[in-house]
């Protein structure tokens, strides 16, 4: 028995972002809280157009451009305070995973009437309906526009940590997936975010929570990424490939909300929080090691991932893991965490944080801490192909 819950309405396609004003008006929004990062999207022409279109349909807005990478709980609190002070009644998230997660955190804080940290590691669950939340992804990777999850940075036991929250109320009301907004992504960001999407699809497919319907989303996402990620890395203006990557990212987001994730994300969150390693880059490095380690217990699923990724009619489980390395090589992804620049002093700290990952149990192969550390040492300084 399994259930599928996809409460987010999704509109795909070029210029779908332009629907945000009328859709917000239809949700009876009056004053929209726009959440972006501080960088290029905040001052983008596309967002400028959206703002003037909001005004044309009689809506006002407040623009909170402070969602940093891996948004901190203090940024979320600041956003929530501004939302309340300005009397907003709806949220428009515009950007990558960080602004979308920040927007979810602000929505939760406002709806629940308590700070987001009250829900992290406490067992307290989200119960209140969020204000109408419209999510417009400008990267193809996170899938946050359709997920029930959000990740935040905080200080825990004296060091930085990244912790996820999950709950049905976190599904955005509407996702506008517009590939035109993703054309301007620089190659390195395209590569890292695309590998994040691949990791979502692969981890959801390998998860103990996998089911037949989520599987469809995973395999189609992996197929699209195999056929298109290198194309968009080489030529960011290839709109057909951008459209395919936009779809792949959203499909993977749907899948992870149904099936879960695993230890690739456990290690990536730790490497991100402690070493500042970009989330997608960390996943890209770690994914093939974990796939390789799952070969004895998940052979047929690994083969299916390899077939979808490479288009080959037949591939071994171990070659599927190597195919992920080959894709990473084509995108200039380093082979291990050390090669990505993480300092030796972080080696054990990253492991100690990662081993407590709350979704560790969803991985297809469960390791003792000792076994997991052996594997981690390869992720730290080894190579899948050695």
Judged by CB under 5 A, does residue 101 bind Fe ion? Answer: no
Residues in 45-84 at the binding interface with Fe ion, rule: CB under 5 A: none
**Minimum distance, C-beta of residue 57 to Fe ion, in the bound complex (Å):** 34
**Minimum distance, C-beta of residue 280 to Fe ion, in the bound complex (Å):** 7
Query: Are 59 and 25 in contact, with CB atoms under 8 Å apart?
Result: yes
Which residue lies nearer to Fe ion by CB, 61 or 217? 217
Query: Rounded to whole angstroms, how far apart are CA atoms 377 and 348?
Result: 9
Q: In what order do the strands lie in the sheet with 90-95?
A: 9-12, 174-177, 133-137, 90-95, 31-35, 60-64
Query: Rounded to whole angstroms, how far apart are CA atoms 18 and 100?
Result: 18
Judged by CB under 5 A, does residue 196 bind Fe ion? Answer: yes
Which residue lies nearer to Fe ion by CB, 145 or 196? 196
Residue range at the interface with Fe ion (CB under 5 A); choices 168-176, 188-196, 247-255, 303-311? 188-196
Helix runs in 207-343, H state only: 212-234, 239-259, 263-275, 279-294, 299-310, 317-330
**Minimum distance, C-beta of residue 348 to Fe ion, in the bound complex (Å):** 24
**Minimum distance, C-beta of residue 267 to Fe ion, in the bound complex (Å):** 12
Judged by CB under 5 A, does residue 178 bind Fe ion? Answer: no
**Minimum distance, C-beta of residue 199 to Fe ion, in the bound complex (Å):** 6
Query: Rounded to whole angstroms, how far apart are CA atoms 16 and 11?
Result: 6
Per-residue binding string, Fe ion, 284-323, x by CB under 5 A, is ----------------------------------------
Q: Cβ contacts of residue 71 below 8 Å, gap of 6+?
A: 98, 99, 101, 102, 105, 152, 153
Query: Rounded to whole angstroms, how far apart are CA atoms 280 and 285?
Result: 9
Which residue lies nearer to Fe ion by CB, 117 or 196? 196
Which residue lies nearer to Fe ion by CB, 19 or 150? 150
Which residue lies nearer to Fe ion by CB, 21 or 97? 97
Q: Nearest to residue 126, comparing CAs of 108, 144, 113, 114?
A: 108
Separate counts of helices (H) and strands (E) for the chain: 13, 8
Which residue lies nearer to Fe ion by CB, 178 or 196? 196
Query: Are 161 and 155 in contact, with CB atoms under 8 Å apart?
Result: yes
Which residue lies nearer to Fe ion by CB, 196 or 243? 196
**Minimum distance, C-beta of residue 14 to Fe ion, in the bound complex (Å):** 25
Residue 73 structure tokens: 């709980």
Which residue lies nearer to Fe ion by CB, 32 or 281? 281
Q: Which residue is it, tokens 């948004």?
A: 71
**Minimum distance, C-beta of residue 273 to Fe ion, in the bound complex (Å):** 13
Q: Residue 162: beta bridge partners?
A: 153
Number of residues that bind Fe ion (CB under 5 A): 1
Helix (H, G, I), strand (E, B) or coil at 104: helix
Which residue lies nearer to Fe ion by CB, 16 or 98? 98
**Minimum distance, C-beta of residue 283 to Fe ion, in the bound complex (Å):** 6
**Minimum distance, C-beta of residue 265 to Fe ion, in the bound complex (Å):** 6
Residue range at the interface with Fe ion (CB under 5 A); choices 18-26, 195-203, 288-296, 325-333? 195-203
Residue range at the interface with Fe ion (CB under 5 A); choices 10-18, 80-88, 190-198, 221-229? 190-198
Q: What Rg, from alpha-carbon coordinates, does the chain have? A: 20
Which residue lies nearer to Fe ion by CB, 101 or 196? 196
Q: Which residue is nearest to Fe ion (CB)?
A: 196
The vertex-278 CA angle with 137 and 319, nearest 5°, equals 95
**Minimum distance, C-beta of residue 76 to Fe ion, in the bound complex (Å):** 19
Q: Nearest to residue 88, comparing CAs of 98, 103, 73, 69?
A: 103
Positions in the binding site for Fe ion (CB under 5 A): 196
């Amino acid at each position: 028995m399994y259930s599928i819950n996809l409460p987010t309405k999704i509109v795909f396609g070029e210029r779908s972002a332009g629907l945000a004003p009328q859709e917000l008006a239809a949700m009876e929004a009056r004053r929209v809280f726009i959440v972006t990062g501080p960088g290029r999207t905040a001052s983008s022409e596309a967002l400028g157009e959206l703002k003037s279109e909001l005004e044309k349909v009689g809506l006002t807005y407040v623009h909170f451009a402070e969602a940093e990478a891996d948004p901190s709980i203090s940024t979320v609190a600041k956003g929530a305070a501004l939302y309340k002070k300005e009397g907003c009644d709806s949220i428009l998230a515009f950007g990558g995973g960080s602004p979308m997660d920040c927007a979810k955190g602000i929505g939760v804080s406002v709806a629940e009437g308590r700070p987001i940290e009250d829900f992290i590691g406490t067992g307290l669950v989200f119960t209140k309906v969020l204000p109408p939340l419209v999510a417009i992804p400008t990267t193809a990777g996170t899938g946050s526009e359709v997920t029930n999850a959000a990740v935040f940075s905080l200080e825990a036991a004296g060091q930085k940590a990244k912790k996820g929250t999950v709950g049905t109320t976190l599904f955005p009301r509407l996702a506008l997936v517009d590939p035109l907004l993703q054309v301007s992504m620089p190659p390195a960001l395209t590569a890292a975010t695309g590998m994040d999407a691949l990791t979502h699809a692969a981890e959801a497919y390998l998860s103990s929570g996998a089911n037949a319907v989520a599987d469809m989303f995973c395999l189609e996402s992996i197929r699209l990424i195999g056929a298109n990620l290198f194309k968009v890395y080489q030529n960011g203006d290839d709109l057909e490939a951008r459209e395919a990557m936009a779809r792949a990212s959203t499909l993977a987001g749907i899948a992870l909300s149904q099936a879960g994730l695993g230890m690739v994300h456990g290690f990536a969150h730790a490497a991100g929080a402690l070493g500042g390693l970009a989330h997608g880059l960390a996943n890209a490095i770690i994914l093939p090691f974990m796939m390789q380690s799952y070969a004895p217990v998940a052979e047929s699923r690994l083969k299916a991932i390899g077939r979808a990724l490479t288009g080959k009619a037949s591939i071994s489980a171990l070659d599927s893991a190597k195919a992920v390395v080959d894709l990473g090589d084509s995108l200039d992804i380093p082979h291990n965490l050390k090669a990505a620049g993480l300092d030796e002093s972080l080696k054990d700290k990253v492991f100690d944080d990662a081993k407590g990952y709350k979704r560790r149990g969803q991985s297809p192969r469960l390791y003792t801490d000792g076994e997991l550390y052996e594997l981690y040492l390869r992720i730290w300084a080894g190579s899948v192909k050695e």
